[in-house]
């Protein structure tokens, strides 16, 4: 049984549709105008909406726009307009405003039944896909929870656009006590990108535990991505080997933005990318990619994915171009929670929804 919302200001039309749908085995919700329809949609999340066009208080066009602007996922039911409008432009507006289909009044029961069944099959299929996706996301999240992760002297901000993220943060200590940290950002975001994370994670932790040097770990990761994943899947990555005893950090930057190092409030811009992302080329000379910098106790090292850099203002300015270095300076000087950055980003773009996964790592020497 499905729940169908009827939005129509004509009480006889509502009654007629109510009886017809109940005979078909569906539950119904009844609204006499668009505003009531939106309120019932918010409260009960119907599977499908039958929408009239011309109504008092709020017409069907505006009601549908309101639903589309505020719904997502299962909150986006199909909207079928049932209308006596014959003007072609007004009928086209039924689709332009976010509707999925329309039938002209007076409608034929056989055609209405066929249209309803077709759209409800899509609803059932979408629900099954959502359930399957949730199960896959749960598996991936479990796979990414690795007990070999060592968050020594680290603060991490991760805000995925979806449940799972294409960004990857790995950290562990080698046999000599040096800390190896890797920030990776797979192509895109969400499920397709996140499914690649465990592949890299197993290589990273397994080879560190067996004592392999950084270059060989990165070579193995590059080989696996290049050999196993589709050609359009690659990994921008920043790999750090921080040796606090010696006082140096070795950085391999493959496609990431520059590393930032702060010492007593003074920013030193570390190496920018010196190579294409991992997985694009079959072989990479990591000795040429390697850059080593001296560090002192108390230094703060920041690495971040594209998500923060590429947030744009309405005028098209990138946050990373001028604003990000100052934001990192504030974080370093005042030791604010890393979450402080999120409202700064949303205010800059004048939109609450960030378009990409945001990952920021602060590593203290």
Look up residue 298 and give its DSSP letter.
T
For the sheet with 266-269, list strands across it: 154-159, 358-364, 300-304, 260-263, 266-269
Three-state DSSP state, 108 = coil
* Whether pTM exceeds 0.85: no
Cα distance between residue 304 and residue 357, in whole Å: 10
pLDDT given at position 205: 93
Q: What angle do CA 90, 82, 32 make, to 5 degrees?
A: 105
Cα distance between residue 48 and residue 3, in whole Å: 7
Q: Phi, psi at residue 246, to the nearest 5°?
A: -80, -30
Q: Phi, psi at residue 88, to the nearest 5°?
A: -60, -40
Cα distance between residue 259 and residue 360, in whole Å: 11
β-strand pairing of 3-7 with 27-31: parallel
Q: Give me the residues paired with residue 89 across strands.
A: none
Number of other CB atoms surrounding residue 9 within 10 Å: 18
Three-state DSSP state, 226 = helix
The two tokens of residue 265 are: 């409030």
Could you tell me where the DSSP H helices lie in 244-339?
Answer: 286-289, 306-309, 319-334
Closest C-alpha to 293, from 248, 327, 352: 248
Look up residue 317 and give its DSSP letter.
-
Cα distance between residue 48 and residue 37, in whole Å: 12
CA torsion sign for 270, 273, 275, 277 is positive
The two tokens of residue 8 are: 């129509």
Cα distance between residue 29 and residue 6, in whole Å: 6
Cα distance between residue 25 and residue 196, in whole Å: 44
Could you tell me where the DSSP H helices lie in the chain?
Answer: 11-23, 34-44, 60-70, 88-96, 109-144, 191-194, 197-209, 214-228, 286-289, 306-309, 319-334, 341-349
- Spell out, as residue ranges, where the chain has pLDDT lower than 70: 72-75, 129-130, 132-146, 160-166, 188-194, 352
pLDDT given at position 140: 46
Residues in the chain: 365
Which domains are present in the chain? 3-138 (3.40.50.2300), 146-364 (3.60.40.10)
CA torsion sign for 244, 250, 256, 257 is positive
The full DSSP string for 149-209 is ---TTEEEEEE-SSSS-SEEEEEEE-TTS-EEEEEEEESSSSHHHHTTHHHHHHHHHHHHH
């Amino acid at each position: 049984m499905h729940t169908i919302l009827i939005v129509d200001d004509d009480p006889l039309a509502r009654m007629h549709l109510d009886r017809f749908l109940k005979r078909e085995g569906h539950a119904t919700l009844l609204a006499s105008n668009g505003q009531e329809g939106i309120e019932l949609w918010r409260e009960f999340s119907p599977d499908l909406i039958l929408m009239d066009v011309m109504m008092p208080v709020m017409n069907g066009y505006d009601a549908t726009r309101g639903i589309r602007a505020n719904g997502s996922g299962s909150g986006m039911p199909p909207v079928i307009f049932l209308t006596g409008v014959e003007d072609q432009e007004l009928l086209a507006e039924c689709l332009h405003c976010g509707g999925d289909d329309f039938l002209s009044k007076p409608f034929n029961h056989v055609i209405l039944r066929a249209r309803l069944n077709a759209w409800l099959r899509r609803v059932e299929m979408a629900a099954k896909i959502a359930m399957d996706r949730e199960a896959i996301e749960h598996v991936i999240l479990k796979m990414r929870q690795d007990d070999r992760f060592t968050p020594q002297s680290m603060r991490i901000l991760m805000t995925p656009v979806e449940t799972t993220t294409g960004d990857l943060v790995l950290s562990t200590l080698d046999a000599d006590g040096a800390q190896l940290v890797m920030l990776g950002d797979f192509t895109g975001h969400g499920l397709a990108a996140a499914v690649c994370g465990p592949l890299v994670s197993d290589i990273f932790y397994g080879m560190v535990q067996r004592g392999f040097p950084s270059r060989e770990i990165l070579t193995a990761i590059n080989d696996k991505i290049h050999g196993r994943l589709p050609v359009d899947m690659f990994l921008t990555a920043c790999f750090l080997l921080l040796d606090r005893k010696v006082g140096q950090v070795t950085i391999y930057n493959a496609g990431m933005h520059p590393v930032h190092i702060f010492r007593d409030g003074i920013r030193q811009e570390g190496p920018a990318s010196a190579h294409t992302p991992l997985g694009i080329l079959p072989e990479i000379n990591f000795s040429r990619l390697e850059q080593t910098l001296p560090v002192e106790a108390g230094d703060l090292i920041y690495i971040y994915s594209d998500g923060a850099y590429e947030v744009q203002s309405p005028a098209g300015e990138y946050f990373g171009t001028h604003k990000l270095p100052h934001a990192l300076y504030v974080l370093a000087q005042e030791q604010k929670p890393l979450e402080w950055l999120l409202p700064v980003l949303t205010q800059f773009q004048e939109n609450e929804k960030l378009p990409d996964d945001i990952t920021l790592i602060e590593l203290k020497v």
